[in-house]
Chain A
Amino acid sequence: MVRSSGFGENIKLAFRGIFTHKMRSFLTMLGIIIGIAAIIAIVSTIRGTNEQIKQNLIGAGTNSVTVCIKQNDWEYEFDYMSVPDGFYPVSDESMDQIRSLPGVKCAARYLSRKNSASVYCGSVTLDGCGVFGVESDYFNAAGLQLIKGRLFGEHDISSFSKVAVLDRSAAKALFSSDEPIGKTIEIGKEVFLVVGVIDTESSFRPSIESMEDYYTYVGNTSAKVYIPLADWPILFQFDEPESVIVRCKDTDSMTDVGRKTAEILNNALGIGEGKDGKSGESDIRYKADDLLEQAKQIQDLSKSTNSMLIWIAGISLLVGGIGVMNIMLVSVTERTREIGLKKALGAKKRVILGQFLTEAAVLTSVGGILGVAVGIALAYAIQFIAQVPVAISIPAIVVSVLFSTAVGLIFGLLPSIQASRLDPIEALRYE
C-alpha cells in the first residue's frame, strides 16, 4: 500500500462529506440525476424502437423484396387503371437475369387485385379480399408457410388447373372451423378447388404513422386467395405486366437486389434511369418496395429527433455541473481551516487537490448512478404508458456513469485547484 493517503481515503472522505450534507448533496446531484435519467430514458426508447423495427424485418423473416409498377412512388393498381402504354409481361429472360443476381435465393412473378375482387363460398361473401395470381415459386419467395394441403405444382400451371390456396384469414372467413381442403370457392363466377392453406403473414407489426403505412401494412394483412398465374386471364385480363417478388439470402442485400431487379425490369421495357417514364408527364416504372430502406428511414427519423433530446439532456448536465462547481466552491470556503490544518500536518498540494476532485467526482458519479436508476424506471414507465418498446442499453449506462464522473472532474477542477493553493497560514487564521 504505497498510496494509503490516496484513493481509498479520499473516497471515504467524499462519502462522509456527502452524508454530512445530505440535503445539499442531493440538490447538487439533482441536475446530474435529471440529465442522466433523461439520456438513459431517451436512449432506451430509441434502442427499443429500432430493435423492434429490426426485429419486425427479421420477424417477417423472409428477406423478400417486391418489385412492382409504381406511378410516382404509389403502386399502380390494375383494379382501377388499365395497363399503361409500353408495359408487357415480364419475360423468362428477365427472370433468369434476376435469379442470377448476387444475393438472390429465388424469384417469382405474380399479379394481384388487392381491393376489388370478391370471393364466395356458398352464402359467405368475402369482399375486398386480395387475389393473387402466382408462379409456383411464389410461396417460397414470399416465405409463406403451408399449414395444410399442398401448394401449386408444375402440373397445375401447365394444365391451367383451377385450384386455389387460401391464407389462414381467408380460410377462417370462408369456412370458419370447417375443413377447407377439397371444397370449392367462387372467384368472379369461376369455381376453384381449395388445395392448401398457408399461414398469414402476421409477425410484421410496424407502427402506423401515415396513410401510406396503412395501405402498405394493413393491405398486407387482409385475407388472401392465391391462384396459379396461368389462370389469371380467365378472371381478369391478358398480358398484364407482373410484379416480381425476390427472396434475398440476407437482410443487408435487400436494398441492392431490389434496386437491380427494378433496373432489369425497366431496362427490358426500355425505361432508362431518367426522370420520365413511359407516359411522358407521369413517371411510371418498376420500383422496389424496400422494407429495409423504410425501416432505416424510420430509424433515422427517430434518431434525429432523439439526438436533439439528448442535446437538451446534455444542457441539463452542464447546468448540473455548474451546480457542482458552485457547491464545491462553497465547500472549499467552509473548510478553509480544515485545509490549512491538513497542509500544516503535511498534506501536499496534490493531496488536497485529489481530495476535492474525488469529492466532486463521487458526488456526480453517485448522481449518475441514481440518474441511471431513475432513467431505467422512466423508460419502463414510458413503455407502460405510451406502449413504446424499450431496450436498456448497458453501454449507454456505462457511458452515462463515466460521463457524470467526468462532469464532476471537470467542474470540480477549479474549486479543487483553489483549495490546493490556499495559503496554510491564512487558512489556519480563517474563522
Chain B
Amino acid sequence: MIIDIKNLYKDYLNGEMVVPVLKDVSFSVDEGEFVSIMGRSGSGKSTLMNIIGCLDRPTSGNYLFNGEDVSAMSDDELSDLRNRGVGFIFQQFNLLPRDTALENVELPLVYANVPAQERKARALEALERVDLADRAEFLPTQLSGGQKQRVAIARAIVNNPSILLADEPTGALDSRSGEQLMELFCDLNRQGMSIVMITHERGVAAYAQRVMMLSDGVLTDTDKESLEGIK
C-alpha cells in the first residue's frame, strides 16, 4: 500500500474559530491504482491533496506513506519524500517560465543531487515518455497548454515517484487536450504508475478505476458505474 490514511482530521483556525475541513477521512491507494477524488470547490479536496502530497500536516490521524509514518518526519525528510516519492501535477502547470522544457523536467533531479549529465539523460527520457523529446529546448511560452501539461507530467515522473498527484490537471485545458492528457494518464497507469487525481469533472474522473467523493470534508466511495453514462 502506497498511501494509507486512517481517521484523518484537519482543522483550520479562523481567528478564534476552529473550522474543520477534513473529518475522519480514511483512504488508501494500492500500488498501480488510479483513483479519482471528486468534490465541489470548498469541499476540502485541495487540503486533502496537500496532505497526501506531504505539503501539509494533518491535525490528527495516521498517515503512512509506503509504510512510513509521515507525521513523525522532519521538514527535510518531508522534502525528500516529496522529491522522491511524489510527482505533482498542477492545474496551472507551474513551469518555470525562463527555463526550457528540459530544464523544467530536470528540476526534481537537481534537488535529488543527481549529477548534471545523468540529469539531462533522465529528463530527456521522461520527455520521450510524454512524446515531447523534440520540444526539449523550447521555453514554456513556446508550448501549447497541452504540451505544457505534458512537460509537467514529465517533470512529475522523472524521479520515478511512487505516486502521481494531479490537482485538476485538465482544468486549464480545452476538452481535446484534456482527453489526450487522460489517455496519457491511462498509459502511465498501465505501465504501473499509481495515480491520485482530483477533479470536479465527472467525465475526467471516470478515467480512473476508482472514484471517491469528498463532500463537506467527508470522503465516501462512489459507485463508478453511475459515472459511466456521463463519460
Q: Which residues of A line the B interface, CB within 8 A? A: 1-5, 9, 16, 20, 337-338, 341-349, 351, 424-425, 428
Contact = CB atoms under 8 A, between A and B. Distances in A.
A174 to B, nearest CB: 82
Category for how many chain B residues contact A: 20 to 34
B110 A428 contact: no
B115 A346 contact: no
A337 B94 contact: yes
B115 A4 contact: yes
Contacts of A338: 96
Given A9-B110, A341-B96, A428-B94, A346 B79 contact: yes
A347 B53 contact: no
B228 interface: no
A3 B50 CA distance: 28
Interface string B111-125: 111111001000000
A425 B80 contact: no
A344 B107 CA distance: 11
Q: Is the interface of A mostly helix, strand, loop or mixed?
A: helix
A346 B116 contact: no
Interface stretch (B64-72, B83-91, B171-179, B183-191): B83-91
Given A342-B107, A346-B80, A428-B55, 10 more contacts: A9-B110, A341-B94, A345-B83, A345-B107, A346-B83, A346-B108, A346-B112, A348-B75, A349-B79, A351-B111
Interface string B48-85: 00100101100000000000000000011001101110
Given A345-B88, A425-B55, A5 B113 contact: yes
B116 A1 contact: yes
23 contacts: A1-B113, A3-B113, A4-B114, A4-B116, A5-B111, A20-B98, A337-B94, A343-B79, A344-B53, A344-B88, A345-B83, A345-B155, A346-B82, A346-B83, A346-B108, A346-B111, A346-B112, A348-B75, A348-B76, A348-B111, A349-B79, A424-B55, A428-B90
Contacts of B83: 345-346
B96 A346 contact: no
Interface string B124-164: 00000000000000000000000000000001000000000
Interface string B204-224: 000000000000000000000
B50 A425 contact: yes
A331 to B, nearest CB: 13
Contacts of A3: 113
A1 B90 contact: no
Contacts of B82: 344-346
Contacts of A342: 107, 111
Nearest to A335: B96
A219 to B, nearest CB: 72
Contacts of B53: 344
A184 B142 CA distance: 99
A1 B116 CA distance: 9
Contact of B115 (A1, A349, A424): A1
Contacts of A4: 110, 113-116, 119
Contacts of B108: 345-346
A375 to B, nearest CB: 33
B113 A2 contact: yes
A40 to B, nearest CB: 34
A66 B55 CA distance: 84
Contacts of B119: 4
Contacts of A348: 75-76, 79, 111
A145 B80 CA distance: 81
A349 B110 CA distance: 14
Contacts of B98: 16, 20
Nearest to A6: B113
Contacts of A20: 98
The 8 closest A-B pairs by CB, nearest first: A346-B83, A346-B111, A348-B79, A5-B110, A341-B94, A1-B115, A345-B108, A346-B82
A16 B75 CA distance: 29
A351 B84 CA distance: 16
A289 B111 CA distance: 71
A291 to B, nearest CB: 63
Contacts of B113: 1-5
Contacts of A428: 55, 90, 94
A351 B75 CA distance: 13
A338 B103 CA distance: 14
Contacts of B112: 5, 346
Contacts of A341: 94, 96
Given A16-B98, A346-B83, A348-B79, A425 B56 contact: yes
A210 B71 CA distance: 81
Contacts of B155: 345
A341 B87 CA distance: 12
A16, A337, A346, A348: residue with the most chain B Cβ atoms closer than 10 Å = A346
A338 B107 CA distance: 12
Contacts of A1: 113, 115-116
